[in-house]
Every structure is written in C-alpha cells, then in structure tokens.
C-alpha cells in the first residue's frame, strides 16, 4: 500500500494548518529523502516535526522538505503505512536549510501508525480504542473472486462468511460475532466509501454486493465491538464493514494497470447416490415387482447436469494525476460460467474517482462513481435435487419428439406427463430461460473544507446515492413437462401445453446526505479529535405488477396484482465522537448517536446509542519505551449500546407499527353467485395486517476488552479480544394472545439473547531476509450463543419452531430448528434415534424421552446447533525473491448440518412408494435399509451430522517478473487453485451451509486460475 491516500489526506490536513502558521521567530527548513530497504525512494511517507503540526510527505522519488521550523533541536517522525515509524533527532538552524541524511524505513507488520478507516473518518491505529480489523489488498484472498466479501473469507477473527453455494454471484451470509437477533436482520451494515448501502436482496441478483468489482477495493475494515460501531447506531448491532476503494494520489505519475485471469471450475465430488448398476441390483432385491420399470441406460445424472465451467476476468485501471486532479478510472469485465448447465454471469463494471484538493489545500473533494451491469443466466437449482432422485437406468433423451426430445414419465406412450413424479433434470435446465439484467450505481461526492478562520475545524459534506435497476424474465418452454398442466387440457395440442412466461423488474433509489464538523488539534502531548454530524438516508424500492403468462406470452396464467409494489423508509441521525489521546498513552473515545427510523411510531422512533472506550498504550510508557521485546502493547476496553431497526425480515414490511389494509391479489378474491343473472359478483378483499404500535429498537449492549501486542519489532503481533453481547427487546416473531390482533404471531420486542466469545488474531513473520520471507496470519473465534428469554411461557411450551429461513425437502410442515430458552438460536429440535445392536438406526424407532409411554412430538429434544462455535483461519505467504506461494485455510468446528438429502432420499421409499416410477436413493438407504418410514424420520437426529471441516480456500503461486520494459512495466504472474481440499466427516457434499439444512445445494467447484497483472 505504497500510495496511501489516507496518509496523504492526513498530511494535507497538517500541511494546510502549517501553511497558516506564520513564522515570526527564527525558523529554518529541512530536506531529506526516505528510502525503502531496497534503497528506492519511498513516496507518500509522512514526515512531521514532533509536537507540531509541521510536516510534509515525500514526493515520488522519496524526497521531502519542511519549511518554517523553529530553530533548535527537534524530533522528526517518519511514518508510513506498513513501515516502522522512525524517530530522528535533528537540529534546525535559523534561516538555513538543513539536509537530513537519508532515512531507511523497514516494513512493519504492526502498522502502529497506520491510518485506520473508522466510521466517518480515519484514526491513527494507536488511537483506536475499539475492536477493529483492517485488511488491505495484500492480504486479500486471491484467485477467482466474484463477490467482494470473499476477499476476506477466513481472514478476520469473529467474521463468518458463508457463500450460498457455487453459483457465480451466489448470495453470501456474513455474521460478525454470531447473530444478535432472532428474526430481525443479522447482516452487518456495509459502508462503501462512506455510503451505507442497502444490502437487502435485489430482485434478479442473488447477491447485492456482487455488483461491486472486487478489483476496485483497497481495504476492508471490520468494526466489531460497540465502541467502534456505535457511531452507526441503529444499524450497528451486527457489526459494520467499511469498504474503501482505490483512489488516485496527487503527484503520482500515470499508471495503467491491466489484470487478466482465466479460470476453469470443476465439480470435485458427487452426492453419493446409487449408480445404474447398483440401482438395478437394489431394485431387484428390494422391489422385485418394479424391475419392469427400469430402463436400459446408464446415466449419471449429476454428470449430465454439471459441466466444466470457464471464466475470464479482465480489468484495466488508470491511476494518477492530471495536473492537480488525482484520479482513478477502472473497467472490469467478468464472464463466469456456473458449473450447473446454462448458469452464467456477465459483469461489466466501471468506476471513476476524482480526488482534487483545491484552494491551497483547504478543500478536499472526493468524488466516486461506481457502476455495474450484471447479466445473469440463472439455472433451476431444482435440477440438482431432481438429478439425485432420477432413475439412473433411464436415458436423457427419449428418441421421441415430445417434451423437447427428453425422456419423461408419461401417463401413456406419447401421452401427457405423470404427476408427482420426478422430472428429467436436463430439461429443467435446457427448457428454461431465466435471465436478468441488473444495473447498479453507487456514488458520492464528499467535500471536506478547512474553515478559513478556524483551520482546525473541517466541515464535511457527503452526498451519496445507491441506485439499482433490475429487469428479468423467466420462460419455461411450452414443451416442458414441468409446466405442462398450466393450461387446462386441450387435446388438440399434443406435447406442447402450458409453459410459463413472466417478466419482473425492481428499482431501488437510495440517497444519502451527511454533514459533519470535525475538529482536530494537538495540544502539546494531547491530541483531540472531535466530530459532530448529521445524516439523512432514504430508501425507496419499487416493482411493477405484472402477470404471469403461458409460454405463448399472451395468455394470462396468473393475473398481476392490482397495485404495484413500493416501499420507503428513512433514517435520520445525529452523531458525535470525541477521541482524546494523552501522551500517546491514554486514549479515550466516546461516541453518541441518535437515530430516528420511520419504521417505528413517533413515540418509539428516536433512540440514543452511546459508547465509551479507552485504550492504554503501555508500549509508550517509559518502562517499555526502549524495550526491544515489545514493539506494541495496548490494552483496550469498551462498552456501548447499538441497535437494530431492520425489522423487514420479521415484520414483512417497512411499516410494522401502522394498521395497514392490503389489497388481496386476484388469486384471493371472494365471489357471490347471482342465480338471477347467472354471474358471480367478485370482490377483492382488503386484508387487515397485524401491527405492533409499540414496536421499538432491538438493543444490544456490548462489552469488549482486548489487547494488541507486538513482539520483536513487530515480527509477532496481533490482538486478543473477549466480548459479551446481550441483546434485549429482541425483534422476534412470537405467538400473541389470540383475538388481540390480525395475526397469531407478531413481531414484538420480547426476550433476550447473548453472545460471548473470544477472538485471537496472530500475525507472524517467521522468516524475514534478503531472499526468503514468510509471513503467516492465524485467527480464531469461539462464540457461544444462547437465548435467555422469549417472554412468558406456559408449562409445556417447547419454544418457537423455525427452519432458519430454509425449507425441508419432502417434509411438508417439518421444522427442524427451535428457538428455545437456554439454547443456541440455531439449535435443532429432533427425535432421538434408537440404534440396533449392529449400530444401525432402527427404522421408525425413537426414544420416549419424556417416558409417557408414547412417542410423539413431545419427545423431541434439542440437539446440536448449525452455527459453528469455533471458526479458524490461517494464511501463509512465503516468498523467495520474486516467487511467492500463499494459501488460506479455513475451518469451522462444532457446527452440525441437517442432511436433508439423506432424510429425503436415504430410504427405499423411492423404490416402492410409487407404482409407476422408481426413484434413485442415496447410498445411505443401503446402509440403513429403511423402507417406507413415517414422516418422523425427517425429524430424526440421525440426520443431524457433524459438519466440522477444514478447507483449503485457495493456494496461489505468484511470480513477480519485475520491470519488463526497461524501467517501466511491472509484471506479475499468478496461478491459483481454489477449494483445494476439504476435510470433513460430513457425509453429504459440502458441510458449509449457513442455515444448517442441506438440500439442493449448488456444489462449490474446484477452480484453477491463471492470471497476469501488468502495471505500466
């Protein structure tokens, strides 16, 4: 991170002040040069005179000069992100320029003086009092990264990032320190270049963040505890992720950077279902009467629906300054195939940032515009489940004309399809066209102005927007058996019936206005940084109402709803922060935010979120100052309250406190027949909705204590944090007294839960030399989640059943999870399977846990949890001269998964259950020998399996070819493999599924990537 924009800003800030310090007395100037370990001039390094606001930063060749320094002895502080700060005694002679001998700075891993991005500004790392982790480009996960959040997967303690499978641009779930809520959102707030973005799902894009090009990102900062996040008040309870994109730097020469990579992705394992021959044998043994139904083909359906997928990812950026205008412009093009046939994503992204500094460095302008267009070709994930169950002895193609030429089960030869039988997986993909185009632009203009008469005071105005437009359509071909019955039978149409076609669109228009004043002043050894501001953010989402047609595109199959969709909410906030640093030893930070959200009634709308934290830089105490063992030692402690206002997931609307009447859809009308006229009179009802006029914020109180440490000149450094978070007034959907509202379950503020845990982060540089360098990062998290209260409970109240947003394949009405007091919120609630002497589960035999002689739903018990108590990450980077080898390992321990693939297909019901077809089963059926079992098996703990895993996320080999065009052009070549190996006891395909229910999961492929990066 050589051209640190932030350090520049800091410097310019200081310089601006310096420019107005008049030089009454005798002053002199100094000049010198800062070099890196290779004796190359180091640009952008901050050089300041200690105890003053005098300073400058080095130019492109590493030289600097500082004027108007009072004559006499001084200490020069040379600091730069990523390098050890140097202190140098100098003596300034009056009226003269003193040449300072060149200073060589070494790279540093403790980053003590690094500018850390925090809410509304930056802080010196030593002034940070909260639990904050910053990850920059150097540490990002390499290889084919489509979604920005994958860049830091496995890199940050306390952060769990789970992709929703292997589809390009699949939705990702991010959890910071466990979930703080039951039914309200558990997603962190994401702020991109100062714009808090709407990360709720976008119609037509599985993942809203996938619209950001990862290549444009410079740093990620994860704010974890309340003292760091409370400045974001009501959206901070689940942590805050600040994303800073790359910028141009003043004075920098124009650089063109071209990067290009190509990838091949392959499926590396299969769900263990029976092969065609195994299937024939099993049918012959288990259901001899069904042998006649078998075909003669040998089809591996998983091989048929998946493919080798290719990806190209090309990016070009131009960085530098034209005159006084630093800028960066970039363009990226990604074309990524999914391994599931027909699935593809094309993304074009562009970004421009302009960062001029005007009026003698008093006005800093920061304009960012990012735009992207994604074209998605979605595939029907139902094909994955169909491929598991479809008879492997049947062919892909029938040889006949009907149904697109694909084999299907028909009621008679050449007739109509059978119902309630599996569909050939291939036409589910090939006879469907599911496309969307999503455009998103995020931008802002930020003005930071040093007031003319009071230069320590800066006024900052930030105007931002986040606009999304999506359009999509979904066509199921009229020859598809799956949509055959969408039209009443018409005998004149043979093999070509309903199909379906619908179009959809969504617009999101979010705008932001922020204004704050920032006062920074160094009083001798004391440094004060005060901020006070105001924020207004407005979110509008609209969708038109459109009907669903048959595939002909003209016959309405399902009428459009009467009203289009539109929703809007607004958040209005005041906030302030004071950071006081005394002697660089004692730092105190206090923040306060008042948020008002339109989602709550005027009586409950406002809430105050305070936080206070302190840090003690023990390293800077005199006893340790000259100690060479410790290079950093800081204690931190913080307390704060944050909130959660995102009730939409729980309440289903942005207006949960208002008594609303919603117009029914045209599918839910009610009609009265008039015998006289022979016609119906239909009415479209207004449905009164449940509402909670007392609804208010969910509140999370966080206690955090941490220690930042560094040994041996930063060769070993890291941090250790312990935290306790308690959320009260949970926004939970709970049963309410019947007859009191227009619903039986209502989002209410009830109960509480806690998360407590430990996070450890360790950076080490075991080898640091002329040729060999080796750095490692290890991080680990232990988090315990427990529900403390769910409101009043009568005896026998088991808790609130939940599927954590998932669905159970085959088990209508089954809910595998429970919210229960005293248990983790991701707990399973199951029957206890009874096993035979041979260790195999006994069919339909479950333990009578309450001993009442009957096995019924009261005998279910809480068993294991989906969320991992332990999350581990390990990264290593070894380099020898120009060659480097890096890898990232990730692990989760103690998490369990509900193997819905086996609970649905792991029994012989597939062979015997239907008279006219036989379905494939998983290998587990041959192990258990389960025949036709009761539905209770869907709730058996036999299918709750240990899903702990160790995954090598990626390994990257890099070669730095250096300057290939004489003095110019830096070429770097990489080869990477993602998903290198996976070690787990889990018997299904992949143990990493966020909601804990394994069915129809799009496999994560193994991806091989080669890439080049050329700077000119």
- Candidate segments 1-9, 78-86, 913-921, 998-1006, binder of another protein by CB under 8 A: 913-921
Residue 483 or 1014: the one with the smaller Cβ distance to another protein is: 483
- Binding to another protein, residues 548-587 (CB under 8 A): 558-559, 561, 563-570, 572, 574
Structure tokens at 331: 């363009």
Q: Are strands 27-35 and 97-99 parallel, antiparallel or unpaired?
A: parallel
Residue 98 or 807: the one with the smaller Cβ distance to another protein is: 807
- Candidate segments 366-374, 376-384, 812-820, 865-873, binder of another protein by CB under 8 A: 812-820
**How would DSSP label each residue in 171-231?**
-EEEEESS-S-SSS--PPEEEETTEEE--SPBTTBS-GGGGS-GGGEEEEEEE-SHHHHGG
Task: Identify whether the C-beta of residue 224 lies closer than 8 Å to the C-beta of residue 239.
Answer: yes
Residue 473 or 601: the one with the smaller Cβ distance to another protein is: 601
- Candidate segments 22-30, 316-324, 809-817, 893-901, binder of another protein by CB under 8 A: 809-817
Among 465, 534, 616, 774, binds another protein (CB under 8 A): 534
Dihedral (CA of 853, 855, 856, 861) sign: positive
Phi and psi for 838 in degrees, rounded to 5? -80, 5
Output the CA angle 847-851-856, nearest 5 degrees.
Answer: 60
Residue 98 or 664: the one with the smaller Cβ distance to another protein is: 664
The SS3 of residue 126 is helix
Residue 315 and residue 337: Cα distance in Å, rounded?
18
Of 170, 215, 207, the C-alpha closest to 190 is 207
Q: Residue 755 to residues 97, 225, 689, 906: CA-CA distances in angstroms?
A: 59, 12, 33, 36
Phi and psi for 623 in degrees, rounded to 5? -65, -30
Contact letters (x/-) for another protein, 84-123, by CB under 8 A? ----------------------------------------
Residue showing tokens 């040889």: 399
Instruction: Give the shortest CB-565-to-another protein separation in angstroms.
Output: 8
Residue 151 and residue 139: Cα distance in Å, rounded?
8
Residue 113 or 903: the one with the smaller Cβ distance to another protein is: 903
Instruction: Give the shortest CB-831-to-another protein separation in angstroms.
Output: 11
Contact letters (x/-) for another protein, 872-911, by CB under 8 A? ----------------------------------------
Structure tokens at 184: 């309200």
Structure tokens at 487: 């039209």
Of 537, 539, 622, 527, the C-alpha closest to 578 is 527
Residue 396 or 666: the one with the smaller Cβ distance to another protein is: 666
Among 131, 736, 897, 952, binds another protein (CB under 8 A): 736
Among 936, 990, 992, 998, binds another protein (CB under 8 A): 936
- Candidate segments 91-99, 103-111, 676-684, 771-779, binder of another protein by CB under 8 A: 676-684
Among 932, 963, 964, 965, binds another protein (CB under 8 A): 932
Instruction: Give the shortest CB-610-to-another protein separation in angstroms.
Output: 19
486-505 per-residue burial string, b: 16 or more CB within 10 A, e: under 16: bbeeeeeeebbbbbbbbbbb
- Binding to another protein, residues 373-412 (CB under 8 A): 411
Residue 422 or 996: the one with the smaller Cβ distance to another protein is: 422
Instruction: Give the shortest CB-694-to-another protein separation in angstroms.
Output: 7
Binding status of residue 915 toward another protein by CB under 8 A? yes
Residue 197 and residue 209: Cα distance in Å, rounded?
9
Binding status of residue 20 toward another protein by CB under 8 A? no
Q: Residue 813 to residues 259, 649, 830, 933, 1000: CA-CA distances in angstroms?
A: 50, 20, 14, 17, 18
Of 741, 748, 539, the C-alpha closest to 654 is 539
Residue 223 and residue 188: Cα distance in Å, rounded?
10
Ramachandran class of 821: left when φ > 0, alpha when ψ lies in -120 to 50, beta otherwise: beta
Binding status of residue 931 toward another protein by CB under 8 A? no
Q: Are strands 357-358 and 344-354 parallel, antiparallel or unpaired?
A: unpaired
Residue 451 or 712: the one with the smaller Cβ distance to another protein is: 451
Contact letters (x/-) for another protein, 591-610, by CB under 8 A? -----xxx---x--x-----
Phi and psi for 422 in degrees, rounded to 5? -65, 150
- Binding to another protein, residues 486-515 (CB under 8 A): 488-489, 513, 515
Task: Identify whether the C-beta of residue 637 lies closer than 8 Å to the C-beta of residue 704.
Answer: yes
Q: How many residues contact another protein, by CB under 8 A?
A: 121
Instruction: Give the shortest CB-890-to-another protein separation in angstroms.
Output: 32
Residue 862 or 950: the one with the smaller Cβ distance to another protein is: 862
Residue 573 or 613: the one with the smaller Cβ distance to another protein is: 573
What residues are paired with 929 via a beta bridge? Answer: none
- Candidate segments 317-325, 430-438, 618-626, 686-694, binder of another protein by CB under 8 A: 686-694
Which burial class, exposed, middle or buried, applies to 261 when counting CB atoms under 10 A from its CB (0-12, 13-18, 19+)?
buried
- Binding to another protein, residues 756-795 (CB under 8 A): 791-795
Which burial class, exposed, middle or buried, applies to 231 when counting CB atoms under 10 A from its CB (0-12, 13-18, 19+)?
buried
- Binding to another protein, residues 415-474 (CB under 8 A): 418-421, 447, 449, 451-452, 459, 461
Among 22, 296, 812, 967, binds another protein (CB under 8 A): 812
Residue 186 and residue 421: Cα distance in Å, rounded?
38
The SS3 of residue 500 is strand
Instruction: Give the shortest CB-682-to-another protein separation in angstroms.
Output: 6
Residue 647 or 955: the one with the smaller Cβ distance to another protein is: 647
Dihedral (CA of 140, 143, 149, 153) sign: negative
Residue 349 or 597: the one with the smaller Cβ distance to another protein is: 597
Among 693, 840, 963, 968, binds another protein (CB under 8 A): 693
Residue 905 and residue 883: Cα distance in Å, rounded?
49
Residue 236 or 800: the one with the smaller Cβ distance to another protein is: 800
Binding status of residue 935 toward another protein by CB under 8 A? yes
Task: Identify whether the C-beta of residue 833 lies closer than 8 Å to the C-beta of residue 841.
Answer: yes
Question: Of how many residues is the chain composed?
Answer: 1016
Instruction: Give the shortest CB-343-to-another protein separation in angstroms.
Output: 24
Instruction: Give the shortest CB-1002-to-another protein separation in angstroms.
Output: 21
Instruction: Give the shortest CB-362-to-another protein separation in angstroms.
Output: 7
Run of H or E residues at 713: none
Among 686, 880, 927, 981, binds another protein (CB under 8 A): 686
Of 826, 829, 832, the C-alpha closest to 814 is 829
Binding status of residue 183 toward another protein by CB under 8 A? no
Output the CA angle 480-484-486, nearest 5 degrees.
Answer: 130
Residue 428 or 734: the one with the smaller Cβ distance to another protein is: 734
Residue 194 or 958: the one with the smaller Cβ distance to another protein is: 194
Task: Identify whether the C-beta of residue 441 lies closer than 8 Å to the C-beta of residue 465.
Answer: yes
- Binding to another protein, residues 321-380 (CB under 8 A): 359, 362-363
- Binding to another protein, residues 847-866 (CB under 8 A): 854, 856-858
Instruction: Give the shortest CB-220-to-another protein separation in angstroms.
Output: 29
Among 525, 552, 681, 881, binds another protein (CB under 8 A): 681
Residue 664 or 876: the one with the smaller Cβ distance to another protein is: 664
Residue 660 or 726: the one with the smaller Cβ distance to another protein is: 660
- Binding to another protein, residues 614-673 (CB under 8 A): 652-655, 658-673
Instruction: Give the shortest CB-290-to-another protein separation in angstroms.
Output: 12
């Amino acid at each position: 991170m050589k051209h640190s924009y932030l350090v520049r800003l800091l410097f310019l800030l200081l310089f601006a002040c310096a420019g107005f310090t008049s030089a009454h007395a005798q002053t002199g100037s100094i000049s010198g040069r800062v070099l890196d370990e290779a004796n190359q001039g180091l640009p952008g390094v901050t050089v300041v005179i200690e105890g003053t606001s005098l300073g400058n930063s080095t130019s492109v060749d590493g030289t600097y000069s500082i004027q108007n320094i009072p004559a006499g002895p001084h200490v020069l502080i040379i600091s730069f992100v990523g390098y050890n700060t140097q202190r140098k005694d100098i003596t300034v002679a009056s009226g003269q320029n003193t040449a300072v001998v060149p200073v060589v700075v070494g790279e540093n891993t403790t980053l003590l003086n690094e500018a850390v991005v925090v809410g509304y500004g930056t802080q010196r790392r030593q002034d940070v009092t909260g639990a904050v982790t910053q990850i920059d480009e150097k540490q990002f996960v390499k290889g084919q990264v489509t979604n920005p959040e994958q860049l830091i997967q496995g890199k940050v303690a306390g952060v769990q990032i789970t992709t929703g499978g292997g589809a390009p641009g699949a939705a990702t779930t991010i959890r910071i320190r466990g979930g703080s809520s039951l039914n309200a959102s558990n997603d962190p707030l994401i702020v991109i270049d100062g714009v808090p973005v709407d990360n709720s799902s976008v119609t037509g894009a599985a993942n809203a963040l996938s619209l950001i090009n990862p290549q444009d990102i410079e740093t990620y900062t994860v704010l974890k505890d309340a003292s760091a996040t409370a400045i974001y008040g009501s959206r901070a309870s689940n942590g805050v992720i600040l994303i800073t994109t790359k910028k141009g730097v003043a004075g920098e020469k124009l650089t063109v950077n071209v990067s290009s990579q190509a990838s091949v992705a392959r499926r590396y394992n299969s769900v263990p279902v029976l092969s065609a021959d195994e299937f024939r044998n099993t049918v012959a043994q288990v259901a001899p009467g069904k042998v006649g139904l078998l075909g003669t083909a040998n089809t591996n359906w998983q091989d048929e629906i998946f493919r080798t997928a290719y990806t190209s990812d090309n990016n070009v950026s131009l960085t530098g300054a034209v005159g006084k205008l630093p800028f960066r412009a970039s363009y990226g093009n990604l074309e990524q195939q999914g391994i599931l046939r027909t699935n593809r994503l094309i993304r074009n992204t562009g970004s421009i940032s302009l960062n001029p500094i005007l009026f003698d460095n008093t006005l800093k302008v920061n304009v960012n515009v990012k735009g992207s267009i994604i074209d998605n070709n979605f595939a029907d994930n139902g094909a994955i489940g169909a491929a598991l169950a479809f008879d492997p002895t049947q062919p892909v193609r029938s040889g006949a004309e009907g149904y697109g030429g694909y084999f299907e089960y028909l009621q008679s030869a050449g007739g109509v399809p059978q119902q309630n039988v599996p569909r050939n997986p291939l036409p589910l993909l090939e006879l469907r066209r599911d496309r969307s185009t999503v455009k998103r632009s995020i931008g802002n203009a930020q003005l930071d102005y040093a007031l003319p008469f009071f230069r320590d005071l800066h006024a900052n105005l930030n105007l931002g927007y986040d606009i999304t437009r999506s359009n999509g359509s979904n066509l199921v071909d009229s020859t598809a058996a799956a949509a055959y019955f969408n039209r009443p039978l018409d005998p004149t149409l043979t093999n070509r019936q309903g199909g379906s076609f619908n179009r959809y669109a969504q617009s999101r228009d979010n705008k932001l206005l922020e204004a704050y004043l920032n006062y920074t002043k160094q009083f001798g050894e004391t440094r004060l940084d005060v901020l006070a501001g105001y924020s207004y953010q407005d979110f509008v989402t609209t969708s038109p109402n459109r009907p669903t047609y048959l595939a002909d595109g003209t016959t309405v199959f399902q009428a459009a709803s009467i009203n289009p969709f539109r929703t809007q909410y607004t958040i209005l906030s005041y906030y302030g922060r004071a950071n006081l640093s005394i002697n660089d030893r004692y730092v105190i930070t206090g923040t306060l935010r008042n948020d008002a959200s339109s989602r709550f009634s005027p009586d409950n709308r406002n809430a105050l979120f305070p936080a206070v934290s302190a840090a003690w830089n023990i390293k800077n105490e005199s006893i340790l100052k000259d100690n060479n063992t410790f290079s950093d030692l800081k204690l931190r402690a913080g307390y704060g309250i944050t909130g959660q206002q995102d009730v939409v997931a729980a309440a289903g609307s942005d207006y949960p406190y208002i008594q609303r009447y919603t117009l029914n859809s045209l599918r839910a009308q009610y009609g009265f027949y008039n015998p006289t006229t022979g016609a119906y009179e239909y009415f479209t009802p207004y449905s009164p909705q449940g509402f909670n006029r007392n609804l208010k914020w969910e509140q999370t109180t966080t206690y955090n204590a941490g220690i930042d440490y560094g040994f041996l000149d930063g060769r070993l450094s890291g941090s250790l944090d312990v935290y306790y978070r308690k959320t009260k007034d949970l926004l939970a959907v709970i049963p309410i007294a019947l007859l009191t509202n227009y619903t039986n379950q209502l989002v209410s503020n009830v109960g509480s839960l806690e998360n407590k845990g430990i996070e450890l982060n360790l950076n080490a540089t075991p080898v640091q030399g002329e040729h060999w360098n080796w750095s490692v990062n290890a991080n680990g998290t232990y988090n315990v989640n427990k529900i403390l209260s769910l409101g009043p409970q009568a005896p026998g109240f088991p808790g609130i059943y939940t599927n954590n947003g998932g669905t159970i394949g085959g088990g209508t009405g089954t809910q595998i999870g429970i919210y229960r007091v005293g248990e983790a919120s991701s707990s399973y609630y199951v029957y206890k399977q009874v096993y035979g002497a041979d260790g195999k589960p006994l069919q339909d035999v479950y333990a009578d846990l309450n001993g009442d002689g009957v096995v019924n739903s009261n005998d279910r018990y809480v068993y294991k949890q989906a969320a991992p108590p332990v999350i581990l990450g390990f990264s290593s980077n070894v380099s020898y001269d120009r060659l480097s080898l890096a890898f990232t390992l990730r692990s989760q321990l103690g998490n369990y998964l509900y193997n819905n693939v086996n609970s649905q297909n792991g029994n012989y019901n597939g062979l015997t259950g239907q008279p006219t077809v036989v379905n494939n089963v998983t290998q587990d059926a041959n192990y258990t020998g389960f025949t036709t079992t009761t539905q209770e098996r869907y709730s058996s703990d036999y299918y709750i399996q240990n899903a702990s895993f160790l995954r090598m996320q990626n390994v990257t080999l890099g070669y730095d070819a250096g300057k290939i065009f004489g003095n110019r052009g830096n070429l770097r070549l990489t080869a990477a493999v993602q998903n290198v190996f996976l070690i787990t006891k889990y018997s299904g395909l992949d143990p990493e599924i966020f909601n804990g229910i394994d069915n129809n999961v799009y496999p994560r492929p193994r991806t091989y990537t080669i890439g080049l990066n050329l700077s000119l």
